[in-house]
A and B are shown apart, each in its own frame.
Chain A
Amino acid sequence: MVRNQGMTVGEIIAVEELSVGFGTTPAVSSLTLSLAAGTVLALVGPSGSGKTTLLRALLGLCTPDRGVIRIEGREVSRGGELFATPEERNLAVVFQDLALWPHMTVHGNLAFGLVAKRIEATEREARIATMLERVGLRGKERRYPHELSGGERQRVAIARALVLEPAAVLMDEPLANLDVVLKRELLRLFRDLFRERSSTVVYVTHDSREALALGDELGVLEEGKLTQFGTANELRAAPATSFVRALVEDWNFQFGAAVRSSK
């Protein structure tokens, strides 16, 4: 359950009046939202709207100017102060370039975070085996990232994030620059994985179709501000800005195309 105002029970991430800037330019401005357990929030917006900055602030990779961030009810940042380092926030991330560690095997990439969190070896290996089986990479544990196909690397990246069983997974346009077929296949995998595990996810994208496919709820970011928040139907019913209107038209166009192709 997601609401952009106030706090709810079972919330994983809560952000109040968050502002993050670079010099005098605000990248995120007075943003408030909260994200409940098991929800997939798709944050959509044009380039430079502050999506990635918001993600980095949640991860603790940049320092906000103002506002409060709470993760699992614990205050991790207030004003310009950070109370928790990135590794203490119990989050996981999938970057756009995936950031697989090139000198580590698939197994090494998955094991790194588990070792850091001092997960016992037996449980660690069991978790890695289960996760690799689930994403279809069994038998490729000893391969290095450069020995994998593009789709396989995407699977390693999502597996590396989910194997930690974090409070939430933050994903920064992980499917950008992929072909349509691969993108569709991976979207299906992501959706199934999130449902099976009741994962809490913040999925950043500028692709309206990805947002529609994955998001239980959608947040629209424009010039650092959350201009609209709700389900796809709520956005369709009352688009608040011209960008949201364009987004809805894009969905309708796709729906029309799908209907035409099914006739």
Chain B
Amino acid sequence: MGGALIRALLRRQERWVLAAVGVVLVCVVALPLGAPLLSLGSSGGSLSRAFRDLTNHARLWILLWRSTWLSSAVTVASLCAGVPLGLVLGRTDVVGRRALALALALPVSLPPFLLVLGWYYIAGRSGWLGSERGSAWLFSDAGVIAVLSLAFLPVVVALSALGVRGIDASIEEAARVAAGPRRTLVWILLPAIWPSIALAAVLVFAMAFSELGVPMFLRRDVYPAAVFARLGGVDYQPGEALVLALPLLPVAGLLMIVERLIFRGRSFAVLGASHLSTNPLALGAWRLPASAVCWTVAGLTGAPIVALIAKAGLRGLLAGLDYVGASLVNSLATSLIAAASIAALAAVVGHGIARRIRGSALLDALSMLAFLTPAAVLGTGLLAVYNRPMTGWLYQSLAIIVLGFIARYSVVGVRTMAVAVAQSSPSFEESAGAFGARYVRRLVAIVLPMHRRALVGAALLAFLFCFRDLETAVLFYPPGGEPLTVKIFTLEANGPPPVVAGLAVVHAATTLVALAIGSAWFGTKA
């Protein structure tokens, strides 16, 4: 009997492993995202009344509209600058391509509110280039759009560059034999990478919509700030925050539909096809002007970091290290544990969607939904689900931050693994299967060793996203368990500027160390 059961379990390993991952994702994603809806039904009418009151409140809709148009403007601005930059970086002989890519990598690894802090030191009223007019502009909607566009620009650049580099060389060369570079770019390369561009648009919109730090710093009212206001300070009203999260669900739904339409029936093997373009397109006379533009943009994205370093100085940096307390350890511990967990989830789900294993698409959709949903929904949902006596041990420890990170950023790892696995032939695994290896053994002995670079890449990316997170963790960090980003965010209002800048430099330096370790590892394994 027991032997038969074990045999049955072994035969269905694939299903059981996916089911276990599914349970994890349901606990950390589906339940929290469903919490606002469930709470309406189970509150005995009090939350329903609160929702009715809120929906009658004009300010709610004004805030929602402001958040929507600001995020749309950020998306359009990032695309307008980022797509041409990505194409140039991905396929042309622009001066210092690799260095440019690296220069753009650091700013995107930092939380945008650190960048706005840097911009404040440059263009604020008392900044180095500051003036009344400049300060008024920075503290306006235009300032929010400019800062966030520059902060998210590298996402668009990276996806466009990866998209164009992933195009099979012969597709482009066949066009070049008949037409010039400009026509090839517009009619062949751009349409070929539109899924990458559309994905970049969805991601930038989602990140801009969730953004809390930049609009709050620049004193511009946005919807997530209203939710945050119900969860902090003297005005603590978690029930109302939950209700406020409800109107954000249709936004998440819409983004999810767009994302599904983009990837409908597409193979993840699109990126990194086997026969890649090797010879960059020669820009000719345009090489120097194009290089100058690219380096100027890279300089603009990096300028706030330089400003933070200058503002901090050695004294600010040392003071910052005094102030940092346990927040750096909290950030590192939660981000590392979350990144390792995400890598483990990604190995199963990423492989599953690349090989079209039944059920994996649903898990992928769930993880994508958690990323696209404004962080305020996930934050209030986690609070509603886990802030109860039975799970108090979890809610009052760093584990809740880890859960939040896993929920929000698992898609980063999943998609990285999926793209990598899809590039390799399934015959490696099929032949292992023919030699008697079951699912787990194939995964452990064939898939993971073959794709260890992608797995480490997925973990590194997930770490960077978790380490830079503010908008999720700020909603439910436990007492004494604040991550570094939250520490800087709370200190920024009243703390001495050099110390705040010093803490920001500590954050940037830690990110740089993580990037350096990652690239050194990739360098030795190349």
Contact partners of B176 in chain A: CB under 8 A:
61, 85-87
Distance (whole angstroms) from the CB of A111 to the closest CB of chain B: 10
Q: Say yes or no: B178 contacts A112, CB within 8 Å.
A: yes
Produce 1/0 per residue, A27-67, CB < 8 A to B. 00000000000000000000000000000000101100000
Contact partners of B168 in chain A: CB under 8 A:
97, 99
A116 to B174: give the CA distance in the assembly, Å: 13
Q: Say yes or no: B275 contacts A97, CB within 8 Å.
A: yes
Q: Say yes or no: A116 contacts B183, CB within 8 Å.
A: yes
Distance (whole angstroms) from the CB of A175 to the closest CB of chain B: 16
Produce 1/0 per residue, B137-180, CB < 8 A to A. 00000000000000000000000000000001011011111111
Q: Is B188 an interface residue (CB 8 A)?
A: yes
Q: Say yes or no: B191 contacts A112, CB within 8 Å.
A: no
Q: Is B524 an interface residue (CB 8 A)?
A: no
Distance (whole angstroms) from the CB of A221 to the closest CB of chain B: 20
| Size of A's binding interface in residues, CB under 8 A | 22
Distance (whole angstroms) from the CB of A5 to the closest CB of chain B: 28
Q: Is B279 an interface residue (CB 8 A)?
A: yes
* A192-233 with Cβ < 8 A to chain B: none
A107 to B174: give the CA distance in the assembly, Å: 16
Distance (whole angstroms) from the CB of B454 to the closest CB of chain A: 25
Stretch of A88-96, A124-132, A253-261 with 4 or more beta carbons under 8 angstroms from chain B? A88-96
Q: Is A158 an interface residue (CB 8 A)?
A: no
Q: Say yes or no: B173 contacts A116, CB within 8 Å.
A: no
Q: Is A6 an interface residue (CB 8 A)?
A: no
Contact partners of B173 in chain A: CB under 8 A:
59, 61, 86, 93, 95, 99
The chain B residue with its CB closest to the CB of A94 is B174
A101 to B191: give the CA distance in the assembly, Å: 10
Contact partners of B174 in chain A: CB under 8 A:
93, 95, 99, 101
Q: Is A164 an interface residue (CB 8 A)?
A: yes
Given A61-B279, A97-B170, A116-B183: A103 in contact with B191 (beta carbons within 8 A): yes
Q: Say yes or no: B188 contacts A113, CB within 8 Å.
A: no
The chain B residue with its CB closest to the CB of A85 is B180
Given A95-B170, A97-B275, A116-B183: A59 in contact with B175 (beta carbons within 8 A): no
A85 to B170: give the CA distance in the assembly, Å: 16
A102 to B189: give the CA distance in the assembly, Å: 11
Q: Is B514 an interface residue (CB 8 A)?
A: no
Q: Say yes or no: A164 contacts B170, CB within 8 Å.
A: no
Q: Say yes or no: B187 contacts A112, CB within 8 Å.
A: yes
Q: Is A117 an interface residue (CB 8 A)?
A: yes
The chain A residue with its CB closest to the CB of B179 is A116
Q: Is B192 an interface residue (CB 8 A)?
A: yes
Contact partners of B177 in chain A: CB under 8 A:
59, 61, 86-87, 89, 91-93, 113
Q: Say yes or no: A113 contacts B178, CB within 8 Å.
A: yes
The chain B residue with its CB closest to the CB of A172 is B170
Contact partners of B170 in chain A: CB under 8 A:
95-97, 99
A62 to B280: give the CA distance in the assembly, Å: 10
A101 to B177: give the CA distance in the assembly, Å: 14
The chain B residue with its CB closest to the CB of A109 is B174
Contact partners of A117 in chain B: CB under 8 A:
178
Contact partners of B275 in chain A: CB under 8 A:
97
Contact partners of B191 in chain A: CB under 8 A:
103
Contact partners of A101 in chain B: CB under 8 A:
171, 174-175, 188, 192
Distance (whole angstroms) from the CB of B227 to the closest CB of chain A: 41
Q: Which of A87, A89, A93 contacts B179 (CB 8 A)?
A: A87
Distance (whole angstroms) from the CB of A27 to the closest CB of chain B: 13
Q: Say yes or no: A103 contacts B192, CB within 8 Å.
A: yes
Cβ-closest 7 pairs across A and B = A113-B178, A116-B179, A99-B170, A99-B174, A95-B170, A103-B191, A86-B176
A sample of 18 more A-B contacts (CB under 8 A), given A61-B176, A85-B181, A91-B177, is: A59-B177, A86-B173, A86-B177, A87-B177, A92-B178, A96-B170, A97-B168, A99-B170, A101-B174, A101-B192, A102-B171, A112-B175, A112-B179, A112-B187, A113-B177, A113-B179, A116-B179, A164-B178
| A-B CB contact pairs (8 Å), 11 listed | A59-B177, A61-B177, A85-B180, A92-B178, A99-B174, A101-B171, A101-B175, A112-B179, A113-B178, A113-B179, A164-B178
Q: Give the interface of B toward A (CB within 8 A).
A: 168, 170-171, 173-181, 183, 187-188, 191-192, 275, 279
Q: Give the interface of A toward B (CB within 8 A).
A: 59, 61-62, 85-87, 89, 91-93, 95-97, 99, 101-103, 112-113, 116-117, 164
